Amino acid sequence: MKVGLALSGGGARGVAHIGVLQALEEFGVHIDIVAGTSAGSIVGAMYAHGYKPSRILEIIQQITIFKSVRPAWNWSGLLRMDGMKELLLKYLPENSFEKLQIPLAVAATEIRKGELHYFSEGELVPAIMASCSIPAVFSPMPYREGLYIDGGVFDNLPVRAIHPKCDFLIGSHCNHIPTDFDPKNMKMVIERSLLMTIYANTLSSKGLCDVIIEPRNLGRYGSFEIGKAQEIFDIAYEYTKANFSEANFEAALNKP
Protein backbone atom coordinates (compact mmCIF):
# COMPACT_ATOMS: atom_id res chain seq x y z
CA MET A 1 0.00 0.00 0.00
CA LYS A 2 1.38 3.38 -1.04
CA VAL A 3 0.93 6.26 1.44
CA GLY A 4 0.89 9.86 0.21
CA LEU A 5 1.24 13.12 2.12
CA ALA A 6 0.05 16.52 0.86
CA LEU A 7 1.40 19.64 2.59
CA SER A 8 -0.35 22.98 2.26
CA GLY A 9 1.11 26.43 1.89
CA GLY A 10 0.89 28.87 4.78
CA GLY A 11 4.11 30.84 5.20
CA ALA A 12 5.57 30.45 8.69
CA ARG A 13 2.55 28.35 9.64
CA GLY A 14 4.02 25.71 7.33
CA VAL A 15 6.33 24.78 10.21
CA ALA A 16 3.26 22.94 11.50
CA HIS A 17 3.92 20.26 8.86
CA ILE A 18 7.16 19.41 10.64
CA GLY A 19 5.28 18.79 13.89
CA VAL A 20 2.80 16.62 11.98
CA LEU A 21 5.66 14.65 10.42
CA GLN A 22 7.26 14.10 13.82
CA ALA A 23 4.00 12.67 15.15
CA LEU A 24 3.47 10.49 12.06
CA GLU A 25 6.94 9.02 12.45
CA GLU A 26 6.17 8.20 16.07
CA PHE A 27 2.97 6.50 14.91
CA GLY A 28 5.10 4.39 12.58
CA VAL A 29 3.65 5.82 9.37
CA HIS A 30 5.94 5.44 6.35
CA ILE A 31 5.42 8.06 3.62
CA ASP A 32 5.94 6.88 0.03
CA ILE A 33 5.18 10.08 -1.93
CA VAL A 34 4.83 13.78 -1.03
CA ALA A 35 3.24 16.86 -2.61
CA GLY A 36 3.69 20.42 -1.38
CA THR A 37 2.68 23.98 -2.09
CA SER A 38 4.74 27.01 -1.06
CA ALA A 39 5.94 26.43 2.54
CA GLY A 40 4.73 22.85 2.15
CA SER A 41 7.07 22.41 -0.80
CA ILE A 42 10.05 23.43 1.35
CA VAL A 43 9.17 21.03 4.16
CA GLY A 44 8.25 18.33 1.65
CA ALA A 45 11.55 18.65 -0.21
CA MET A 46 13.57 18.50 2.99
CA TYR A 47 11.70 15.39 4.14
CA ALA A 48 11.91 13.75 0.72
CA HIS A 49 15.66 14.42 0.74
CA GLY A 50 15.95 12.35 3.91
CA TYR A 51 16.14 14.90 6.73
CA LYS A 52 14.39 13.94 9.97
CA PRO A 53 11.70 16.35 11.27
CA SER A 54 13.91 17.64 14.09
CA ARG A 55 16.64 18.53 11.59
CA ILE A 56 14.14 20.19 9.23
CA LEU A 57 13.02 22.41 12.12
CA GLU A 58 16.61 23.46 12.74
CA ILE A 59 17.06 24.32 9.06
CA ILE A 60 13.78 26.23 8.79
CA GLN A 61 14.67 28.32 11.83
CA GLN A 62 17.61 29.68 9.83
CA ILE A 63 15.23 31.17 7.25
CA THR A 64 14.45 34.67 8.48
CA ILE A 65 12.88 37.43 6.44
CA PHE A 66 16.19 39.31 6.66
CA LYS A 67 18.48 36.48 5.55
CA SER A 68 16.33 35.00 2.82
CA VAL A 69 15.05 37.92 0.76
CA ARG A 70 16.47 40.94 -1.04
CA PRO A 71 14.81 44.12 -2.41
CA ALA A 72 13.68 43.59 -6.00
CA TRP A 73 13.16 47.24 -6.92
CA ASN A 74 10.94 46.45 -9.87
CA TRP A 75 7.25 46.43 -10.80
CA SER A 76 6.71 42.74 -10.28
CA GLY A 77 7.24 42.46 -6.53
CA LEU A 78 8.84 43.99 -3.48
CA LEU A 79 11.37 41.26 -2.73
CA ARG A 80 13.34 38.52 -4.42
CA MET A 81 14.42 35.28 -2.83
CA ASP A 82 18.18 35.20 -3.38
CA GLY A 83 18.88 34.23 0.22
CA MET A 84 16.32 31.43 0.14
CA LYS A 85 17.92 30.06 -3.01
CA GLU A 86 21.32 29.98 -1.32
CA LEU A 87 19.89 28.21 1.73
CA LEU A 88 17.95 25.64 -0.30
CA LEU A 89 21.01 24.82 -2.40
CA LYS A 90 23.03 24.39 0.78
CA TYR A 91 20.69 21.72 2.12
CA LEU A 92 19.46 20.30 -1.20
CA PRO A 93 22.79 20.40 -3.07
CA GLU A 94 21.82 17.86 -5.74
CA ASN A 95 19.07 20.28 -6.84
CA SER A 96 17.20 17.43 -8.50
CA PHE A 97 13.81 15.78 -8.06
CA GLU A 98 15.36 12.53 -9.23
CA LYS A 99 17.93 12.52 -6.40
CA LEU A 100 15.31 12.68 -3.64
CA GLN A 101 14.73 9.57 -1.52
CA ILE A 102 10.95 9.99 -1.78
CA PRO A 103 9.10 11.18 -4.92
CA LEU A 104 7.92 14.79 -4.64
CA ALA A 105 5.47 16.99 -6.56
CA VAL A 106 5.52 20.79 -6.21
CA ALA A 107 2.60 23.06 -7.17
CA ALA A 108 3.13 26.46 -8.79
CA THR A 109 0.91 28.87 -10.75
CA GLU A 110 1.93 30.10 -14.22
CA ILE A 111 0.75 33.70 -14.12
CA ARG A 112 0.80 34.52 -17.85
CA LYS A 113 -1.40 31.58 -18.84
CA GLY A 114 -3.29 31.33 -15.56
CA GLU A 115 -2.46 27.63 -15.25
CA LEU A 116 -1.58 25.32 -12.37
CA HIS A 117 1.54 23.22 -12.87
CA TYR A 118 2.87 20.30 -10.82
CA PHE A 119 6.63 19.79 -11.05
CA SER A 120 8.14 16.40 -10.23
CA GLU A 121 11.29 16.12 -12.32
CA GLY A 122 14.35 18.15 -13.25
CA GLU A 123 15.70 21.05 -11.19
CA LEU A 124 14.27 21.11 -7.68
CA VAL A 125 15.19 24.46 -6.11
CA PRO A 126 13.70 26.69 -8.86
CA ALA A 127 10.43 24.75 -8.61
CA ILE A 128 10.30 25.34 -4.84
CA MET A 129 11.02 29.05 -5.29
CA ALA A 130 8.30 29.29 -7.93
CA SER A 131 5.85 27.65 -5.56
CA CYS A 132 6.78 30.15 -2.81
CA SER A 133 6.51 33.35 -4.87
CA ILE A 134 3.72 35.11 -2.98
CA PRO A 135 2.08 37.66 -5.33
CA ALA A 136 2.96 41.34 -4.69
CA VAL A 137 5.53 40.29 -2.07
CA PHE A 138 8.05 38.34 -4.16
CA SER A 139 8.92 38.77 -7.81
CA PRO A 140 7.43 36.06 -10.07
CA MET A 141 9.89 33.24 -10.71
CA PRO A 142 11.06 32.53 -14.29
CA TYR A 143 11.24 28.76 -14.76
CA ARG A 144 11.06 26.47 -17.80
CA GLU A 145 9.96 29.24 -20.15
CA GLY A 146 7.16 30.22 -17.78
CA LEU A 147 6.65 32.87 -15.09
CA TYR A 148 5.40 31.48 -11.80
CA ILE A 149 3.78 32.66 -8.60
CA ASP A 150 2.68 30.86 -5.43
CA GLY A 151 1.00 27.51 -6.05
CA GLY A 152 -1.56 28.33 -3.36
CA VAL A 153 -3.36 30.66 -5.75
CA PHE A 154 -4.87 27.61 -7.48
CA ASP A 155 -4.04 24.66 -5.23
CA ASN A 156 -2.98 25.25 -1.65
CA LEU A 157 -3.37 21.58 -0.67
CA PRO A 158 -1.98 19.72 -3.71
CA VAL A 159 -3.72 16.41 -3.17
CA ARG A 160 -4.54 15.97 -6.86
CA ALA A 161 -0.85 15.90 -7.76
CA ILE A 162 -0.43 12.51 -6.08
CA HIS A 163 -3.96 11.17 -5.50
CA PRO A 164 -3.88 8.73 -8.45
CA LYS A 165 -0.58 7.30 -7.17
CA CYS A 166 -1.72 6.63 -3.59
CA ASP A 167 -3.73 3.99 -1.79
CA PHE A 168 -3.94 6.07 1.39
CA LEU A 169 -3.60 9.86 1.45
CA ILE A 170 -2.90 12.14 4.40
CA GLY A 171 -3.43 15.90 4.13
CA SER A 172 -1.65 18.34 6.43
CA HIS A 173 -3.38 21.74 6.32
CA CYS A 174 -2.02 24.62 8.39
CA ASN A 175 -4.55 27.34 7.50
CA HIS A 176 -7.52 26.65 9.76
CA ILE A 177 -9.73 29.76 9.81
CA PRO A 178 -10.41 30.85 13.42
CA THR A 179 -13.83 32.32 14.22
CA ASP A 180 -12.68 34.83 16.82
CA PHE A 181 -10.90 37.23 14.48
CA ASP A 182 -10.29 40.76 15.82
CA PRO A 183 -9.47 43.15 12.91
CA LYS A 184 -7.02 45.47 14.64
CA ASN A 185 -5.40 46.87 11.50
CA MET A 186 -5.54 46.76 7.70
CA LYS A 187 -2.62 44.33 7.45
CA MET A 188 -4.57 41.80 9.50
CA VAL A 189 -7.69 42.32 7.38
CA ILE A 190 -5.77 41.82 4.11
CA GLU A 191 -3.95 38.71 5.34
CA ARG A 192 -7.15 37.12 6.64
CA SER A 193 -8.97 37.94 3.38
CA LEU A 194 -6.24 36.23 1.36
CA LEU A 195 -6.27 33.28 3.75
CA MET A 196 -10.04 32.89 3.33
CA THR A 197 -9.77 33.08 -0.45
CA ILE A 198 -7.04 30.44 -0.58
CA TYR A 199 -8.91 28.29 1.93
CA ALA A 200 -11.77 27.96 -0.54
CA ASN A 201 -9.63 25.98 -3.00
CA THR A 202 -8.72 23.43 -0.32
CA LEU A 203 -12.26 22.27 0.41
CA SER A 204 -12.51 19.79 -2.46
CA SER A 205 -8.92 18.65 -1.85
CA LYS A 206 -9.75 17.72 1.73
CA GLY A 207 -12.48 15.44 0.44
CA LEU A 208 -9.88 13.36 -1.40
CA CYS A 209 -7.88 12.68 1.77
CA ASP A 210 -8.30 9.58 3.90
CA VAL A 211 -7.05 11.58 6.88
CA ILE A 212 -6.87 15.37 7.18
CA ILE A 213 -4.72 16.91 9.94
CA GLU A 214 -5.57 20.56 10.55
CA PRO A 215 -4.08 21.92 13.80
CA ARG A 216 -6.06 24.67 15.49
CA ASN A 217 -4.73 27.88 17.03
CA LEU A 218 -2.35 28.66 14.15
CA GLY A 219 -4.42 31.61 12.93
CA ARG A 220 -2.73 33.95 15.36
CA TYR A 221 0.61 33.53 13.58
CA GLY A 222 1.45 35.73 10.59
CA SER A 223 2.93 34.41 7.36
CA PHE A 224 6.41 35.74 8.16
CA GLU A 225 6.62 34.94 11.89
CA ILE A 226 9.31 32.32 11.42
CA GLY A 227 10.72 33.38 14.79
CA LYS A 228 7.75 31.51 16.30
CA ALA A 229 8.75 28.27 14.57
CA GLN A 230 9.16 26.27 17.78
CA GLU A 231 5.72 27.34 19.03
CA ILE A 232 4.09 26.42 15.72
CA PHE A 233 5.88 23.05 15.66
CA ASP A 234 4.75 22.28 19.22
CA ILE A 235 1.11 23.16 18.52
CA ALA A 236 0.97 20.89 15.46
CA TYR A 237 2.84 18.03 17.12
CA GLU A 238 0.68 18.09 20.24
CA TYR A 239 -2.54 18.42 18.22
CA THR A 240 -1.64 15.42 16.05
CA LYS A 241 -0.64 13.27 19.02
CA ALA A 242 -3.80 14.23 20.94
CA ASN A 243 -6.28 13.71 18.09
CA PHE A 244 -4.82 10.75 16.19
CA SER A 245 -3.24 7.42 16.99
CA GLU A 246 -1.66 4.45 15.24
CA ALA A 247 -5.17 3.06 14.83
CA ASN A 248 -6.11 6.00 12.58
CA PHE A 249 -3.42 4.88 10.17
CA GLU A 250 -3.93 1.14 10.44
CA ALA A 251 -4.78 0.84 6.75
CA ALA A 252 -1.55 2.60 5.87
CA LEU A 253 0.56 0.58 8.27
CA ASN A 254 -0.75 -2.86 7.29
CA LYS A 255 0.88 -2.97 3.89
CA PRO A 256 0.65 -6.27 2.01
Q: By C-alpha distance, which of 27, 39, 64, 66 is closest to 250?
A: 27
User: Is residue 82 annotated as a catalytic residue, yes or no?
Assistant: no
3-state secondary structure 48-102: HHCCCHHHHHHHHCCCCHHHHCEEEEECCEEEECHHHHHHHHHHCCCCEHHHCCC
Which of the following is catalytic: 8, 32, 38, 133?
A: 38
- CA–CA gap between residue 96 and residue 231 (Å, rounded): 31
- CA–CA gap between residue 162 and residue 170 (Å, rounded): 11
- CA–CA gap between residue 137 and residue 155 (Å, rounded): 19
The answer for residues whose C-beta is within 8 angstroms of residue 128's C-beta and 6 or more apart is 41, 42, 45, 88, 106
Which of the following is catalytic: 32, 68, 150, 155?
A: 150
71 DSSP β-pair partners:
79
End-to-end alpha-carbon separation of the chain, Å?
7
Q: By C-alpha distance, which of 28, 48, 34 is closest to 94?
A: 48
User: Is residue 38 annotated as a catalytic residue, yes or no?
Assistant: yes
DSSP 161: G
What is each CA distance from 101 to 39, 47, 64, 91, 107, in whole angstroms? 19, 9, 27, 14, 19
Tell me whether strands 104-110 and 33-37 are parallel, antiparallel or unpaired: parallel
Active-site residues, by number, are 38, 150
